[in-house]
Amino acid sequence: MRKLSRAASGARHVRWSSEILRTMIAHLDVNDRLSEVQKKALAAEIEVLGPRVEGLESAVAPYRAFVEHAHLDIRARQRVANFLCDEAQRAADGAMRPHRKDIDSILPGGFGAILAKTSLSRVLRAGHAKTVEHAERAASALRSLPAKIPGTGPLADTLDQAANLLRTFNKSANALEEQRTPLRAAVNKGIFDLRETLDQIDGRLRTHFSQDFIDSLYPELNKSGSAVADEDDEDDDASAPPEG
């Protein structure tokens, strides 16, 4: 019998443990080969496991709500602010390109010093912070150009506005992490408690049941052991196809 990977999500642990719990209940309901002693032992373990499953469910629900709402909202705002930073840089590039020779002779690093060509990942916080840094550096470079190069002020203002907007959202994202940490900790504790309880239940059941019986309580897992194996359903992220 394989047990679900410890690295599996809280939702997948809920699905896994719920199947175990329901299989125990099903044995009581339909397995007429159980002795009275076995029925009593199994019923007692159902009473132990049920609250653990419910406890994990109650921890997973607020964490998923956080991820699916507050976390996604701030990511969406950061994505828009990143776009505005990119648009401001593209506008500056287009407006300043005709003056490239003059800029090359004035700025250390030349025209290339204004605009960052580095490809950034906006998935991680470091990427968002770098976008702010690049936009502000471009704005500063534009403001350092002489008045004979037109349009630098408004372009710099647009870059700064976009950078400030993204910085604000980056700070909000950091603040949200303070909310996320205890929610995630509650899920981790629920997973730990659940797995400890299942190990203890397995040990006690060995007094009355064969290993084959105990194995029968556990659902089949996918190949990687990261999810309960089930028919492929793209709307069910708590399970996966057997070979997944």
Q: What is the pLDDT of residues 113-136, one digit of tens each?
A: 777 665 555 656 778 999 999 999
* Per-residue CA distances from 242 to 4, 6, 8, 19 (Å): 13, 18, 15, 16
* Helix, strand or coil, per DSSP, at residue 122: coil
pLDDT tens string 137-191:
999 999 999 999 999 999 999 999 999 999 999 999 999 989 999 999 999 999 9
Question: Residues with Cβ < 8 Å from 69, sequence gap 6 or more?
Answer: none
* Per-residue CA distances from 223 to 1, 69, 215, 242 (Å): 13, 32, 17, 6
Task: Quote the percentage of the chain above a pLDDT of 70.
Answer: 91
Residue 158 phi/psi, 5-degree rounding, is -65, -40
Report pLDDT for 235. Answer: 44
Q: Average per-residue pLDDT in the chain?
A: 91
Cα 181 off chain centre by: 12
Rounded distance between C-alpha atoms, residue 202 and residue 49, angstroms = 11
Rounded distance between C-alpha atoms, residue 212 and residue 234, angstroms = 32
